[in-house]
Amino acid sequence: MPHYRYRALTKSGEIILGDVEAPSREEVLRRIEYLGHLPIEADIAGGKAARAGLSGRGLPKSRELTTFLRLLALLLRSGLTVEAGLQTLEDDSNKAVARFAGELRSAVSGGDGFAEALERHASIVEPIYIAMVRAGEASGKLEVVLKAIVEDRTQRDDLSQKISSSIQYPMFLVGSAVIILFFFLLYVVPQFESVFSDLKGRLNSGAAFALVASSWLRDNLTVFLVSCATIVVGGWMILRQPAARARLVGMLARVPGISGPMNDRRTARFIGVLGLLVENGVALPAALKILRDIITEPRYAAAIEQVHEQVRNGRRFIEALADSDLVPPLAVRMLRVGDETGDLSAIARHAAQFYEQRLAIGLDRLMGAIGPATIVLVSVGIGGLVVSIMSALLSITELAM
């Protein structure tokens, strides 16, 4: 469908700009007049390509988007309309946020709903939030829905920050060990190469390995560094693919010690999103459809699809969920209480908080074990090479005596 840009005059005498998709220019003019504006011009803007170019420039980051939604909810609470609130946020000092607000306002001015405007930015706005906004618009509770979205995004950001902080220390230790090992092989070992050259047949295995590794690394340093960079870039590009990330998550979920926190994380996310959607007016079948789209692991995506089909065919949700392996039995019992009391969203919220706490405890235990284990491995690896070199030097000293 063609994409049009237009200018129009409001009743207050203000000139507004907008973007809208419509089958014809006449339809664009009709929509402008329906909104009570006087059309000035409406020209085609290059269709989908122009739309993609407009939406692809400097989109706000995750935390910036959360702040944007929080401010918009406050403006709506103060009595402004969505269009007026977005126009106010166009004055934001952050250019990405200001541009984002301007694009949304243009779409809303053109006759789109706020949810439809957000759909144009599906790369940064998740389907669950778009569904919630659509339900909020239909029920007249958009400000309440935006507040719920902000709270959920804040909790997710905090959890992601906690996970990131938990793995930074082990990664720092491993990185430091790699740097020390490179320095040892490139600059320390060569200092003793001439001393060891006549004793290759009598060197201990550790010293012989360090000597060979140092020589090979110095002779092939460029090839080695290029290969490492290629592996890193290739791995990054592969992991950008949802299917590859899903396979990696599936493999990690089967590793002892990691499987527990990962299962708690998936359970907390599933239950939390389900409760959030239902609480804000999204029908249960639609909520399950959205969950099917955001769960990346093929096994669990297929299980959600099965539950979704059973619910569509009239089976009770809790019974279909109990027959699947989506969530642990304890979570099923908690949700059953909510289903029987008619307060599924509140029970789901409490259940999600319970599993988030379990996840936090599991992460603390896991990182508490990984940190010391990493220190021991690094110490053994580097210390073993140092001891091997020193033993070889002592052997030379004894022979000389």
DSSP 261-292: HHHHHHHHHHHHHHHHHHHTT--HHHHHHHHH
pLDDT at 204 over 60: yes
Q: Indicate if the pLDDT at residue 56 is higher than 50.
A: no
CB of 278 closer than 8 Å to CB of 345: yes
Q: Above 50 in pLDDT, residue 102? A: yes
Q: How far apart are CA 143 and CA 74, in angstroms?
A: 8
Assigned token pair, 310: 């059973």
Q: What is the largest CA-CA distance in the chain?
A: 104
Question: How far is the CA of 383 from the CAs of 157, 161, 171, 181, 351, in angstroms?
Answer: 39, 34, 19, 10, 48
Count other C-beta atoms under 10 Å from residue 88's C-beta: 16
Q: How confident is the model over 302-322, as a mean pLDDT?
A: 87
Question: Is the predicted pLDDT of residue 89 greater than 80, yes or no?
Answer: yes
Tell me what pLDDT residue 49 has.
38
Q: Global pTM? A: 0.63
CB of 304 within 8 A of CB of 291? yes
Residue 160 pLDDT greater than 60, yes or no: yes
Of 77-86, 119-128, 248-257, 360-369, highest mean pLDDT:
77-86
Q: Which of 19-28, 106-115, 195-204, 346-355 has the lowest mean pLDDT?
A: 195-204
pLDDT mean across residues, the chain: 78
Mean pLDDT across 30-37? 74
* pLDDT at residue 1 is higher than 70: no
Closest by Cα among 56, 396, 401 to 202: 396
Nearest to 385 by CA among 87, 215, 185: 185
Tell which wins on pLDDT, 294 or 337. Answer: 337
First-residue to last-residue Cα distance in the chain:
91
Predicted local distance difference test score (pLDDT) of residue 12: 66
How many other C-beta atoms are found inside a 10 Å radius of the C-beta of residue 279? Answer: 19
Cβ contact 366:261 at 8 Å: yes
If we measure between CA atoms, which residue out of 162, 215, 223 comes closest to residue 192? 215
Asked whether the beta carbons of 59 and 96 are under 8 A apart, the reply is yes
For the stretch 321-360, pLDDT in tens is: 888 888 888 888 988 888 888 888 888 888 888 888 888 8
Torsions phi, psi of 3, nearest 5?
Answer: -110, 125
Q: Is residue 162 predicted with pLDDT exceeding 70?
A: yes
d(C-alpha 231, C-alpha 282), whole Å: 44
Distance CA 135, CA 74 (A): 19
Reported as a pLDDT band with limits 50, 70 and 90, residue 39 is: confident
Q: Tell me: pLDDT of 55 over 60.
A: no
Q: How far apart are CA 395 and CA 201, in angstroms?
A: 13
CA 237 to chain centre: 16
Reduced to 3 states (helix: H, G, I; strand: E, B; else coil), residue 363 is: helix
Judge contact between 142 and 132, C-beta under 8 A.
no
What average pLDDT does this structure show over 92-110? 82
Domains in the chain, start-ordered, CATH in brackets? 3-125 (no CATH), 166-401 (1.20.81.30)
61-85 pLDDT, tens per residue? 888 888 888 888 888 888 888 888 8
Spatial neighbors of 84 by CB under 8 A, at least 6 apart, are 75
CA distances from 149 to 30, 126, 153, 207 (A): 34, 11, 6, 59
User: How far apart (Å, rounded) are the C-alpha atoms in residues 308 and 35?
Assistant: 39
